[in-house]
Amino acid sequence: MEHKLEVNGFLKDLGHRVRTLRTAAGRSLQDLAGQAEISPRFLSDVEAGRGNISVARLCRVAEALERPIQTLLPGDKTDSSLLGRVWEMLESSTAEDLEELHSWLSERRQNPVPRSIALVGVRGAGKSTVGKKLARRLGMGFRELDAVIEEESGISLVELFTLHGEGYYRQLQHDVVERMLAKSSPMVLATGGSLVVDRETWGLVRRHCHTIWLKARPKDHWDRVVAQGDIRPMRNNPSAMDELKAMLKSREPLYAQAEITVDTSRNTPAESTALIVESLRKRARREDHPSTAARRPPPAGSR
């Protein structure tokens, strides 16, 4: 009975910690649950101290909150019983959970990416979907640049352009990127589709990040944007598809300056993520052994 009471107390403390960090980050329960790939109902049970969450799931919650997993555990970090608590959770985990945890920890320890990763491409390329998967795979935080700009300005991008114009947006975008990249922790950054046309900001990103161009067929860009519920670019515009094709063609030389190119029309989000990770690892190995770089083929999924 005493053991059961200790476990229940730990789960309640854990739930309180998760809820506190979530609300402090301004995240809704549904948003956090979606990014952590668990149900909102289960996350609600966890926060209420009723859900006995596995280590693998707790790792995903920590990643979604952009926090080290130890910050979710209640009690002082120096508490000698902390290891026992973690061990208790490991003992109650399934073989699948343990395999997922092992894979996640292996990625963290073997992470070949000391710098941030910037995903570029026209809207609908899959930057958000692939970016979140890539961030989880590498144990990094994930941010969408346009969302950060909206947070900084306090208004939507549509309002920002209407009230202040493109020049103001470009300057704000540059300032936000510069400030974000000055942080010590690498991240996966999904950039706005037009970032590459700003020479100064694109140069800044290329100097400080691994750059990945996610390309797709025009129709796939179109269909994905429509699937997101946004038909503004197409409304009352019979030339919308032609304009999209022209935009892709004009920006292609700029996007092609990225280190790696992955075709998201040919590859699923999971496949695209795997291609990026493998390409980055190959690049890291070539940098470690520059004398053999010239004899090696280009990374999978890259130009």
27 token code pair: 């995240």
Q: Are 14 and 72 in contact (CB under 8 A)?
A: yes
How many Å separate Cα 109 from the centre of its chain?
Answer: 18
Q: How far apart are CA 77 and CA 53, in angstroms?
A: 20
The pLDDT value recorded for residue 50 is 87
Name the band, by pLDDT with cuts 50, 70 and 90, for residue 239: confident
204 token code pair: 């800044």
pTM score, two decimals?
0.59
Q: Are 143 and 190 in contact (CB under 8 A)?
A: yes
Q: Are 206 and 257 in contact (CB under 8 A)?
A: yes
pLDDT at 300 over 70: no
Query: Which pLDDT tens digit goes with each residue over 57-105?
Result: 888 898 888 888 877 877 544 444 455 566 667 656 777 777 777 666 6
Radius of gyration of the chain (CA): 22
Q: How far apart are CA 250 and CA 170, in angstroms?
A: 19
Q: Which of 82-96, 238-252, 278-292 has the highest mean pLDDT?
A: 238-252
Q: Which helix (H) or strand (E) holds 228?
A: none
* Phi-psi domain of 216 (left: phi exceeds 0; alpha: psi -120 through 50; beta: other): beta
The pLDDT value recorded for residue 106 is 63
Q: Kindly give, in sequence order, each residue whose CB lies less than 8 Å from that of residue 129, ignoring residues fewer than 6 positions away.
A: 269
The pLDDT value recorded for residue 231 is 56
pLDDT at 107 over 80: no
Q: How far apart are CA 137 and CA 271, in angstroms?
A: 12
